Amino acid sequence: MDTLTFLQHYWWLLVSLLGALLVFLLFVQGGQALIYCLGKSDEERNLLVNSLGRKWELTFTTLVTFGGAFFASFPLFYSTSFGGAFYVWMAILVCFVLQAVAYEYRRKPANILGEKTFTAFLLINGLMGPLLLGTAVSTLFTGAPFTVDRLNLAAGAGGQTVISQWATPWHGLDAVGNLHNLALGLAVAFLSMTLACQYFLNNLDDATLAERARRRMIPAAALFVVCFVGWLVRLLFLTGYTADPATGRIAPEAYKYWHNLVAMPYVAVVLLAGVALVLWSICRGARGKRDAIWAGGSGTILAVAALLLLAGWNNTAYYPSTADMQSSLTIRNSSSSLFTLRVMSWVSLLIPFVAAYIGYAWRAINRRPLSREELREGGHQY
């Protein structure tokens, strides 16, 4: 493996890990979606919002960094997917804009939009964020109708100079019409609710809410398992695109993702370990155990990272084009240059340091679970 190929795989791994971390941190959105289901009074809802509010920035930052890392390492994906699936990405952005202000402004005096409006913003973000992100991520397997021709720039003034173009007028809405994509969107949404219940079990010192979270987790987890297993089984039967490592030519391959699992048994092990941990966390959560979130979180990270590796490694087209097969994106034809990947790789050495201080700060803040008494004592609140 030459250096460029190694770095392309390395950066796909990093992007996969960031994506996996993002899916775990979507428990914040899951919790927002359950505000009214779990919180029956203003005080209970405030407790839930304040518990989630100490983590929302991390989710938001991970989303932004995920986007930045994708841009830096695979810019052609950035320009093709974002510029093409315009409506879906805009919908995702709008619902995250709503979230960013909702926590801080929700209960501030003179909030002209009213507390209910900002709580509704949290609800919209909680329901739509994971659903849309999951649906968009599924297109990494099912593909999208786009074409890429870098030499369109040669058309000159007044010509058709746009490199990546969408072949339908739907600009991303077509992804929502695909049941396979929707299944992953729903799976991510139900997973985020499952993890949120596990987080509340861990982070709240409140027997009433803990019991409600425990009971709510069970149907959410069941729906997650149904959607996820359905999506995964369909994936293993899917025809994917494979790139010839010598020429870069792309060809269809039946059972491509099953073949990827067989060709990369370590990824299969990681996937199975992740799924097993998530299932274990559901069992722990159903018994009301506080530690369920750690198994659920680590299982989510392992499983999602493995799935994203299936999408990009082993000469797989990670963004198949349903309009023009040769336009499909692989980590080889869409990556940044060797120089840029090398520079970025040096920067990536900071990641363990960043993870360490996040862990340290998280522990420091979470040492004592949040209680109604703490909210009554005052201090900064959402």
Partner 1 sequence: MTDYLQTVDWSRAQFALTAIYHWLFVPLTLGLGFLVAIMETQYVRTGDAFWKRTTKFWMRLFGINFAIGVATGIILEFEFGTNWSNYSHFVGDIFGAPLAIEGIMAFFMESTFIAVMFFGWDKVSKRFHLAATWLTAVGANLSAVWILVANSWMQYPAGCTFNLDTVRNEMTSFWEVALSPVAVNKFLHTVTSSYTLAALFVVGVSAWYLLRGRERRMATASIAVASAFGLVFSLVTALTGDRSGAVVARVQPMKLAAMEALYRGEKGAPLTVVGLLRPHPVNGEAFYFSVDIPKMLSMMSFRDPDAYVPGIYDLVDGNPEHGILPTAEKIERGRRAVAELARYRTALDEGDEATQREIRALFDPATPQGEEFLREYFAYFGYGYLETPGQIVPHVPTLFYSFRVMVGAGSLFILILALVWWFNRRGDLDRRRWLLRASIACVPLAYAASQAGWILAELGRQPWAIQDMMPVSVAASKIPSGSVAVTFFLFLALFTALLAAEVSIMTRQIKLGPNDKE
The number of residues making up the chain comes to: 382
Residue number with CB closer to partner 1 (62 or 142):
62
> Locate tokens 């791994």: which residue?
13
CB of 295 vs partner 1, minimal distance in Å: 23
- 243 backbone dihedrals φ, ψ, rounded to 5°: -105, 135
CA–CA gap between residue 278 and residue 292 (Å, rounded): 9
Closest by CA to 312, choosing from 96, 79, 141, is 141
Residue number with CB closer to partner 1 (58 or 264):
58
CB of 310 vs partner 1, minimal distance in Å: 23
CB of 192 vs partner 1, minimal distance in Å: 19
CB of 163 vs partner 1, minimal distance in Å: 5
> Locate tokens 């992100």: which residue?
133
Residue number with CB closer to partner 1 (54 or 234):
54
> Locate tokens 């799924």: which residue?
275
DSSP strand pairing (317-319 vs 329-330)? antiparallel
Residue number with CB closer to partner 1 (85 or 310):
85
Three-state DSSP state, 54:
coil
For residue 164, list its beta bridge partners. 148
CA–CA gap between residue 199 and residue 209 (Å, rounded): 12
| Through-space distance between the first and last CA atoms of the chain, rounded to whole angstroms | 51
DSSP 63-127: HHHHHHHHHHH-HHHIIIIIHHSHHHHHHHHHHHHHHHHHHHHTT-TT-TT-HHHHHHHHHHHHH
Residue number with CB closer to partner 1 (82 or 200):
82
Residue number with CB closer to partner 1 (41 or 377):
377
Q: In Å, how far from its chain's centre is CA 174?
A: 20
> Locate tokens 């995920």: which residue?
66
Three-state DSSP state, 243:
strand
- 162 backbone dihedrals φ, ψ, rounded to 5°: -75, 130
CB of 334 vs partner 1, minimal distance in Å: 9
CA–CA gap between residue 308 and residue 367 (Å, rounded): 33
CB of 244 vs partner 1, minimal distance in Å: 17
CB of 193 vs partner 1, minimal distance in Å: 23
CB of 331 vs partner 1, minimal distance in Å: 14
Residue type, 112: I
CB of 136 vs partner 1, minimal distance in Å: 12
Buried-exposed string 266-285: b where 16+ CB fall within 10 A, e elsewhere: ebbebbeebbebbeebbebb
Q: Give whole-number Cα distances, 32 to 19, 86, 115, 122, 298, in Å.
A: 20, 26, 14, 6, 21
CB of 4 vs partner 1, minimal distance in Å: 12
Residue number with CB closer to partner 1 (25 or 238):
25
Residue number with CB closer to partner 1 (143 or 274):
143
Residue number with CB closer to partner 1 (101 or 229):
101
Residue number with CB closer to partner 1 (266 or 357):
357
